[in-house]
Amino acid sequence: MFSILIAAICIIFFLLFITGMVLTIKSTLQFFVTKTITKKQLLSSLIGTLLFFAIFVATAIPTFGQSSNNAEKISTKSDGYDFKNIKLGMTQNEVSDKLGKPSSQDDRVMTYGNNTLYFADGKLTGGSPKFIQQQVNQKNNNEKQKKADDSNSEKSAAQYFGSKSTQKLADQASYVPRTQMSNGNMMYSETISNVKMYRIDDYQTGVTTVYKADDNKDDGLGAILYQGKTVTQEKPKTTIVY
C-alpha cells in the first residue's frame, strides 16, 4: 500500500512538472512571435514558474534532509547498536552504561553483536563500527598534523639559533653555554620552546650545524634541524633619514 502511494505521488509530481514546462515554453514562444504579452500569457508563465518552484520545494529539500539523516544513521548505528555516544578513551564501564551489557567481554575486548571494541590500559582505542573507525582516523590525522607542526616549529627555532652570528653569541655568553671541542670547533647549547639544541660551528668548513639533543646518543647529537654558512658578524642596520 505504501509503495502504491509513493508511485502515485511521483506520477503527480511528473505531471505537474510537464504542465509547468509546457505552460512556460508556450508563453515564451507566444511572446517572441507577437512581441507582446497578454494577461493570459502572463498568467500561464506565472503558473508554470510556480509549479517548477513547488516541485523543487516538495522534492529537493526533503530529499536533502533525508540524505543527511541517513548518512548519520549509517555512520553511528551498526547491528542494532547506536555508537554515537561512544568516544575513544572511554572505560568499559562507561561504554556499558551507554550500550548496555555486552555480548562478551574481557580486559581488552567488548563485543556487541557483530561489533568489536578494543581497549588498552582500560581505555577504548578502536573498534569495528564505522563510527569508531572514523574517530580513530580523525585522531591519527590530528596526531600527524601535530607532528608536522612541531617539526616545522623546531626547524624554525633551529634556523634562528643557527643564523645567529658568533658575535651575537659572544654577547649572550651569560646564558648560551659553550664548549671548546677537541678539534677546535665551538659547540653552543640552547633550549628554545622546550626543545634542547646543540649548535656546532666547524671552523675548517665554515658551516654551522644545529642538532636536536638526543640523550640516547653517545655524543648527545640527534637529528639535524638546520645547516648553513656560519655567520661571523651581524649585518649592519640600515638607517633611513627623512
What is the CB neighbour count within 10 angstroms for residue 129? 23
Query: Sorting pLDDT into bands at 50, 70 and 90, what band is 13?
Result: low
Is it the case that residue 35 has pLDDT exceeding 60? no
Asked if 203 and 219 count as a contact pair (C-beta separation under 8 A), the reply is no
Cell of 71: 548518512
Query: Sorting pLDDT into bands at 50, 70 and 90, what band is 217?
Result: very high
- DSSP string covering 63-124: HHHHHHHHHHHHHHEETTEE-TT--TT--HHHHHHHH-S-SEE-SSEEEETTEEEEEETTEE
Give the least confident one: 8-12, 49-53, 87-91: 49-53
Mean of the pLDDT values across residues 192-199? 93
Mean of the pLDDT values across residues 109-115? 96
155-189: per-residue pLDDT in tens? 999 999 999 999 999 888 888 999 999 899 999 99
Query: Sorting pLDDT into bands at 50, 70 and 90, what band is 25?
Result: confident
pLDDT score of 193? 85
pLDDT score of 77? 84
Give the least confident one: 13-17, 55-59, 75-79, 217-221: 55-59
pLDDT score of 138? 95
58-108: per-residue pLDDT in tens? 555 554 444 444 444 445 788 889 999 999 999 999 999 999 999 999 999
- Return the sign of the alpha-carbon dihedral for residues 94, 95, 100, 101: negative
Give the least confident one: 4-13, 31-40, 208-217: 31-40
What integer best gives the mean pLDDT of the chain?
82
pLDDT score of 30? 66
pLDDT score of 75? 57
User: Is 216 in a helix, a strand, or coil?
Assistant: coil
128-145: per-residue pLDDT in tens? 999 999 999 999 999 999
Cell of 211: 642538532
